[in-house]
């Protein structure tokens, strides 16, 4: 919150902001930041307490002021923070300007609760910005996200029900590792309890139909990188095993294809091999078309036939080569 430091009330609000942003701040440090004496700083703390703001203090070399839990603890935002929050919500959820949507209603309540000097610019950005919907995004039910987060926080194994893209329903037991948001989609990264050689899985949260926390403790890798692990596993565990030979080295191909499409290994003679699996041959064929070099699909037959159909469709779209170009 932007405050006028010449005003005692403003200084009290600034004091609250400092305690909120720096839990454990000492009286001398608080006085330094406020530009007043330690005695005055303590007086501002007393003003906050008289207003039922739960400021607690601890003694000792590591003591200081912090906000305790209380019903009157206010939220404090600077103008930049309020603007950044609105921009992030609009960028991630394009219905944020719609008061009929839950996220829009929540954002509206937050902005109305802010002082006019802080919330006015943020409200203007929310009202005037036009956001194009992300057609690839799939936002899950907030209640299921909460259930998944609670299970992760418990550090215990889960039993989850799932419905695949093809509509197949199944149930698994797994150790949950992380909740990852990847290009507008929410995934639960986990390891199956009976998953064979490659137990890692990434399940779309919007397709989880049920989730139960079990008694057993979950085992999570200490050096886990959730995003990289998710990308490496998005192309594993699907119905059709994929092998594609590409007429370029692996380093070059990594610049053209996302990591989520599979694993690359050198195949000799300036070529590399793409190994993965897919449940959607059409999607996979469209991704391969992006390659600026020749490639050869070794398997599966479903992907081979899809690439052929896509190629024939593109040839028909291009039509015959004009005589002027042939010459």
Q: Which residue has the higher pLDDT, 198 or 195?
A: 198
Closest CA to 165 of 195, 125, 206: 206
Tokens of 317: 């779209």
Closest CA to 15 of 63, 27, 58: 27
Q: Would you say the CATH fold of 142-225 matches that of 8-67?
A: no
Per-residue CA distances from 278 to 166, 258, 275, 285 (Å): 12, 14, 10, 10
CATH architecture of 142-225: Roll (2.30)
Which pairing describes strands 64-67 and 200-204: parallel, antiparallel, or unpaired?
unpaired
- Protein fold of 8-67: Arc Repressor Mutant, subunit A (1.10.10)
Q: Report DSSP state, residue 135.
A: T
Q: Where are the domains of the chain?
A: 8-67, 79-128, 142-225, 240-317
Of 5-14, 234-243, 296-305, highest mean pLDDT = 296-305
d(CA 138, CA 204): 9
Amino acid 119: pLDDT: 77
151 φ/ψ angles, rounded to the nearest 5 degrees: -65, -45
Tokens of 323: 């005589």
pTM over 0.75: no
pLDDT, tens digit (0-9, with 9 covering 90-100), for 136-158: 778 888 889 999 999 999 999 99
Beta strand ranges found along 167-290 (DSSP E)? 169-182, 185-192, 200-204, 208-217, 240-246, 263-268, 271-278
């Amino acid at each position: 919150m932007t405050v006028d430091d010449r005003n005692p009330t403003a200084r009290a609000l600034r004091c609250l902001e400092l305690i909120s942003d720096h839990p454990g701040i000492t009286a001398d440090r608080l006085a330094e930041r406020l530009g007043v004496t330690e005695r005055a700083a303590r007086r501002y703390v007393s003003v906050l307490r008289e207003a039922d703001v739960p400021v607690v203090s601890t003694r000792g070399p590591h003591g200081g002021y912090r906000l305790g839990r209380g019903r009157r603890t206010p939220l404090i935002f600077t103008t930049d923070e309020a603007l950044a929050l609105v921009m992030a919500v609009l960028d991630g959820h394009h219905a944020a300007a719609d008061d009929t949507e839950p996220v829009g209603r929540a954002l509206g309540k937050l902005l109305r609760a802010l002082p006019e000097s802080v919330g006015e610019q943020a409200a203007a950005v929310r009202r005037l910005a036009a956001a194009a919907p992300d057609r690839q995004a799939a936002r899950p039910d907030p209640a299921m996200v909460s259930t998944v987060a609670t299970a992760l926080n418990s550090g215990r194994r889960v039993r989850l029900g799932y419905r695949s893209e093809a509509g197949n329903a199944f149930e698994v037991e797994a150790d949950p590792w992380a909740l990852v948001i990847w290009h507008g989609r929410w995934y639960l990264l986990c390891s199956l309890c009976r998953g064979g050689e490659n137990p890692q899985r990434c399940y779309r949260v919007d397709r989880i139909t049920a989730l139960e926390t079990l008694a057993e403790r979950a085992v999570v890798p200490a050096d886990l990188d959730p995003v990289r692990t998710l990308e490496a596993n998005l192309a594993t565990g699907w119905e059709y095993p994929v092998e594609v030979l590409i007429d370029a080295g692996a380093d070059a191909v990594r610049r053209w294809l996302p990591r989520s499409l599979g694993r690359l290994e050198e195949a000799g003679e300036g070529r590399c091999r793409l190994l993965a699996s897919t449940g959607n041959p059409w999607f996979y064929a469209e991704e391969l078309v992006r390659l600026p070099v020749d490639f050869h699909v070794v398997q599966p037959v479903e992907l081979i036939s899809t690439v052929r159909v896509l190629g024939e469709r593109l040839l028909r779209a291009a039509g015959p080569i004009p005589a002027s170009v042939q010459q």
